[in-house]
Structure 1
Amino acid sequence: MKKKSIALIIGLMTLALAGVMAMQFYFIKESYIQKSQLFDESVKASMLSVASKIEKMEVMNLAKTQQKSNREKYEREQKKLENQLKLQNRIEQLRVQQYAAHQAFKNDEDELKSRYPLVVSIDNSFYETYIKSPKYRNLVRVRINPGRVVEDLFQENTIDIYAVGDPIKLIRAKDDSIRYAAFLNSQLNSWDYTIKSIAPRKDLKIAQNIQELERQLKLEQANNLFDSIAIIGGKQSKMIEDFAAGLELSKLPLRDRVNLGVLKKELTKALTDRDIISNFNLEVHDRNMLVYSQYVFTNDINDKDNAYSTLLFQGDIERSPGKLTLYFPNKRNLIIENMRNLLVPMITLLFVLIGCFAYTLTTIFRQKKISEMKTDFINNMTHEFKTPVATVMIAAESLRDPEINADQKRVTRLANIIYDENVRLGGHIERVLNIAKLDKENLKLEQTPVAIHKLTNTVLESMNLQLQKVNGTFETSLLAKNDIIIGDELHLSNVLFNLVDNAIKYSNHEPFIKISTFNTKSTLVITVADKGIGMSKEHTQRIFEQFYRIPTGNIHNVKGFGLGLSYVHDIIKRLNGTIQVKSEKDKGTQFEITFPIAKNSF
């Protein structure tokens, strides 16, 4: 196939593949946009339904609360009069007790004043700080305030008990008793007095109980505010209560109106019903203040491109107090996941097309290469066959000459030439036929024990004459203790023959060839090394291909079809062996063959 044809095929296939990829990309892009819009609509619809459901749940709970309240109200009204009577009776009882306590105080005070000529009241904190304390008792002083006439009335002398010196923090009174300084005589210049304590004017505990009971009674006696409004406006009390309850409910903090657990559960259910199965970040705002937040994704939690918001409690009398916001940082992954059933076949088809394109190009180049190699093979084979045929023809024509026919020595030499050339021609034909059999995989190999050392020596003896012609040298190092393998002796000898023959042919100077053997755990390793021209790494990777020959430019001093090493590789592979090559340009080549040792030879 011409280069222009190959270039045209590659161009058309590339154009077709690019067109398919462009169409798939456009289709995927449009599908992604549609899926994204559907995702947005589904999320918004879910949030609106949940917001409405939350508001309805609140109204339902309010209705249930009102029903319960009405039932309780009726029961309370039945007990209201009974409780009021009980409270009034209890208050009267306590007031009687309080009056008795006050009378006891008055009696004690009158008795104290009758026993002592002069009695002065003392503050309990002053008593605890100065009079009771030995440390500060000496600071206590008594002062007389002379009597005077006020509005034609004469007021008697009064006495003050006080402390001198720097002020001291007063100690808190330990009880509510009433304390007096009782002077022992009426001489004011004599300050002998004693401290007397009597019960308080009233019982504080009883006073507190009376005050609490009076407060409860006022609450019981107070008219219901809603009833009053209903009476004034001529409306039903239940209607007024519901309106007022709704008004009061709207004034509650958003935190008390939203249950985060219920909200999250309802959102998950609503999204799942719309085929959106994913976690999300959640925020609830009251005006501009964050009330609740729950973050599953820690990255890009405030990604505005993937944020969705809706108002909460839009039915409130005042403006809606709350806003619910959801974030889906994994929105792209969710959409792609939903498109998986679409993407997988398209991507698979694209890879199939690319694979077919690559396989087609590889096949075209391989066939082109094989075609070139076969053309070279035919040229080489024609040249290799032409030389012996021409030699045989010349020798045959010489035999027809009567003068030459008469010379027996010349006839014998010509006959030997014809025989040698026929043998050479037969060898070429046999080599080609063996390769053909390998290609058809109908070559049958024997599986018999073969002694490699003996076989190696036999091959070297048969090639000794060929080596002597080029002044070459053989060296053997047959160190393997076990050299028995299972294989075909004929084809194994051909393998060694090809490797040694190549070592001789590809040496610029006098060839030096070394054959070695050694054992590993369960294998026999054979190496054939030379110091010939060697080859580059690029050629070592291809020398086992059929018809491949290392390019030599216009120099054709080494004859062959490029089939020898291919035959060697196939035979070794069929006998469960491996072959590796190590070579360096102008320094030589080494082939290493590994065979498993025959089991019965251990």
Structure 2
Amino acid sequence: MSLSLIGIIFVQSFFINNSLENENKNFTLSVKRALSFVSRDIEEFELRDYFLKIQPLIAQNKTPDSTLLQQLYIESDDDINDRTIIHRNTVLEERFKVPSMFFEIDADSITISTLSNDRVTKIYDNANLDGSRRIAPQQTLTEYSNMPELRKQMFENSFKTLLKDIPIYKRITPIEVRILLERELSGEGIDLDFEFSVYDDDLATKVQTQNFDKKNAFHGIPIFLDNNNESSYTLWLDFPDRKKYLLSSIIKMIILSVVFTSVIIVAYSSAIYQLIKQRQISQIKTDFINNMTHEFKTPIATINLALDSIKNPKIINDQEKVKRYLGMIKDENKRMHAQVENVLRISKLEKNELNISKERLKLHDIIEDAMTHVELIVEDRQGYINTHLGAVKSSVLANETHFTNVIVNILDNAIKYSHNAPKIDVYTENIGTNIILKITDQGNGMSKQVAKKVFDKFYREHSGNVHNVKGHGLGLAYVKRIIDDHHGHISVESEKGKGSTFIIKLPLIS
């Protein structure tokens, strides 16, 4: 069971850790993809802005400052169809001078080129007998284009060179970067607070958020690449709550895993607890049977000896001895009956089958009555019982018989567990609406571990197979059940070798 439980916990931990790593990888890929789009958008945004600024200037100056015309002719013969095909491709480059104020350079103006393309295809029939072609073409195909893609690429190459030396904070603002980042991250399904900064090599620029910390930077990507795809500027991104975000993505799985694992641990712990408890119960039952056997063994042996003596012809005619032996048999029989009654009484108490009627009684009277049951034993052992009945009020609602048995049991324990002459003091006092009864002895005492279990049924302090103290662990269990039924409370204070004090608290009645 232990190995299986450890294996389950290990597998769950491995699975959760693996899921977390996968979420981290997916998150990293999404962020990299979003940053690459942002880098592209930043460049396109800047180039489009300058392109839109240049276009009106070119449109106002309709006459180019210079032109360059390039033509390409290609002639091919189609022998199958007996015709000649002539291709002509003309490229017109018009150069316009515009002010350089947008690019913050020293020159007064810069030259911007626009391209247009004229493609003509003519097809001639070779109809003459001598093979010469007709003067007029049979078919003419003409295509005109402004070549926007090529012109755009030319603009971009020129702009990148011109813009390279402009400070970064004049090329892009933090607000624009944030807007682009939010848009692209949202497109990747990442709705998380972030911090960013643009660095020029290892130096921070003004394009950054207030709380950005380079130490926690998650990922960086170059921006404003030149014509060689190189740049000194890097956009760094940081997510302060990245770990919480990753955990939140698998929190349901973690909770379910913890819940089910906890259930298994609880079930496992319960099973172990039950095994230990059953073992303890088994040991207690064994001790109980041994003690009960010992308790019955002496009376049975006494009865057998008495019966054997009565059978003796010399004694059977002696009336006094016969009466004596019969009295012994009766006493021992009563003793065994009392042991059985104790067991049955506890069983009935647990099943709430024992009817305990209560009436108004003086606790001091019950104490005096209980003392008469044990005073001869105490005197025989040359001990004493002193009373210190300081309570002014002692009226309680109690069952006289059972509560007398309670006090007798405690006094009997104090006598039995005193190797020397028993020295017992009984105290009473009023505290609020309660009366406190303390029975103190100077006997053997008990350890704190034993004191915690002394009211458990069948429990006796383990002393091996030595039965120097008679009993079977039911007396104090019975005491506690009776006091609980009287809405009272009992506790014990004890120290090994120095004696014990049993404290009973009962509610007073007016």
Same fold by TM-score greater than 0.5 = yes
Instruction: Identify the match of residue 45 of structure 1 among 19, 30, 33.
Output: 33
Instruction: Identify the match of residue 289 of structure 1 among 191, 196, 203.
Output: 203
Q: Which residue of 2 aligns with 1:586?
A: 497
Instruction: Flag the 1:592–1:32 CA change in 2: closer, same or farther, 3 A.
Output: same
After TM superposition, give the deviation of residue 593 of structure 1 in Å. 1.6
Q: Which residue of 2 aligns with 1:136?
A: none
Instruction: Identify the match of residue 307 of structure 1 among 184, 208, 218.
Output: 218
Aligned residue identity for 2:281: I
Q: Which residue of 1 aligns with 2:155?
A: 243
Q: Which residue of 1 aligns with 2:346?
A: 435
2:29 aligned with 1:35: no
Instruction: Flag the 1:318–1:591 CA change in 2: closer, same or farther, 3 A.
Output: closer
After TM superposition, give the deviation of residue 290 of structure 1 in Å. 1.7
CA distance in 1, matches of 2:15, 2:115: 69
Instruction: Identify the match of residue 173 of structure 2 among 259, 262, 266.
Output: 259
* Conserved 8 A contact 2:381-2:421: yes
Q: Which residue of 1 aligns with 2:278?
A: 367
Aligned residue identity for 2:155: F
* Conserved 8 A contact 2:35-2:181: yes
Aligned residue identity for 1:20: I
2:193 aligned with 1:279: yes
Q: Which residue of 1 aligns with 2:411?
A: 500
Aligned residue identity for 2:97: L
Greater shift, 313-322 or 343-352, is seen at 313-322
CA distance in 2, matches of 1:575, 1:275: 69
Q: Which residue of 2 aligns with 1:472?
A: 383
* Conserved 8 A contact 1:505-1:558: yes
RMSD: 3.5
Q: Which residue of 2 aligns with 1:407?
A: 318
Aligned residue identity for 1:280: F
The structure in which a higher percent of residues are strand is 2
Which runs of structure 2 are paired with 1:72-83 in the superposition (5 Å)? none
Aligned residue identity for 1:279: D
Q: Which residue of 1 aligns with 2:97?
A: 225
Q: Which residue of 2 aligns with 1:22?
A: 10
After TM superposition, give the deviation of residue 526 of structure 1 in Å. 1.1
* Conserved 8 A contact 1:302-1:327: no
Aligned residue identity for 2:10: A
Question: What do residues 57-81 of structure 1 show as CA deviations (whole Å, max 9, x unaligned)?
Answer: 445545665678789x69xxxxxxx
Question: What do residues 530-577 of structure 1 show as CA deviations (whole Å, max 9, x unaligned)?
Answer: 011112223222222222212334542211101212222233234332
CA distance in 1, matches of 2:212, 2:171: 26
After TM superposition, give the deviation of residue 328 of structure 1 in Å. 3.9
After TM superposition, give the deviation of residue 44 of structure 1 in Å. 1.0
* Conserved 8 A contact 2:429-2:437: yes
2:425 aligned with 1:514: yes
* Conserved 8 A contact 2:222-2:235: yes
After TM superposition, give the deviation of residue 405 of structure 1 in Å. 4.0
2:460 aligned with 1:545: no
Provide the aligned length of Structure 1 versus Structure 2: 434
Aligned residue identity for 1:359: S
* Conserved 8 A contact 1:254-1:321: no
Question: What do residues 31-71 of structure 1 show as CA deviations (whole Å, max 9, x unaligned)?
Answer: 22212211111111222233333444445545665678789
After TM superposition, give the deviation of residue 329 of structure 1 in Å. 5.7
Instruction: Flag the 1:230–1:286 CA change in 2: closer, same or farther, 3 A.
Output: closer
**Structure with bigger gyration radius:** 1
CA distance in 2, matches of 1:257, 1:282: 16
The structure in which a higher percent of residues are helix is 1
Instruction: Flag the 1:269–1:367 CA change in 2: closer, same or farther, 3 A.
Output: farther
After TM superposition, give the deviation of residue 234 of structure 1 in Å. 8.0
CA distance in 2, matches of 1:535, 1:297: 67
- Matched residue SS, 1:225: strand
TM (norm. structure 1) is 0.64
After TM superposition, give the deviation of residue 582 of structure 1 in Å. 1.4
Question: What do residues 161-184 of structure 1 show as CA deviations (whole Å, max 9, x unaligned)?
Answer: xxxxxxxxxxxxxxxxxxxxxxxx
After TM superposition, give the deviation of residue 326 of structure 1 in Å. 1.2
- Matched residue SS, 1:22: helix
Aligned residue identity for 2:25: Q
Instruction: Flag the 1:230–1:296 CA change in 2: closer, same or farther, 3 A.
Output: closer
CA distance in 2, matches of 1:42, 1:347: 29
* Conserved 8 A contact 1:250-1:316: no
- Matched residue SS, 2:215: coil
Report sequence identity in percent: 32
After TM superposition, give the deviation of residue 512 of structure 1 in Å. 0.9
After TM superposition, give the deviation of residue 490 of structure 1 in Å. 2.9
Instruction: Flag the 1:307–1:447 CA change in 2: closer, same or farther, 3 A.
Output: same
* Conserved 8 A contact 2:489-2:505: yes
- Matched residue SS, 1:510: coil
Instruction: Flag the 1:234–1:511 CA change in 2: closer, same or farther, 3 A.
Output: closer
CA distance in 1, matches of 2:110, 2:32: 43
- Matched residue SS, 2:419: coil
After TM superposition, give the deviation of residue 250 of structure 1 in Å. 5.7
CA distance in 2, matches of 1:583, 1:337: 55
Question: What do residues 90-120 of structure 1 show as CA deviations (whole Å, max 9, x unaligned)?
Answer: xxxxxxxxxxxxxxxxxxxxxxxxxxxxxxx
TM (norm. structure 2) is 0.75
* Conserved 8 A contact 1:280-1:296: no
Q: Which residue of 1 aligns with 2:329?
A: 418
Structure 1 unpaired stretches of 5+ = 1-12, 75-223
After TM superposition, give the deviation of residue 474 of structure 1 in Å. 0.8
Instruction: Flag the 1:278–1:576 CA change in 2: closer, same or farther, 3 A.
Output: farther
Greater shift, 512-521 or 438-447, is seen at 438-447
* Conserved 8 A contact 2:316-2:322: yes
- Matched residue SS, 1:310: strand
CA distance in 2, matches of 1:554, 1:426: 24
CA distance in 2, matches of 1:548, 1:461: 28
Instruction: Flag the 1:398–1:288 CA change in 2: closer, same or farther, 3 A.
Output: closer
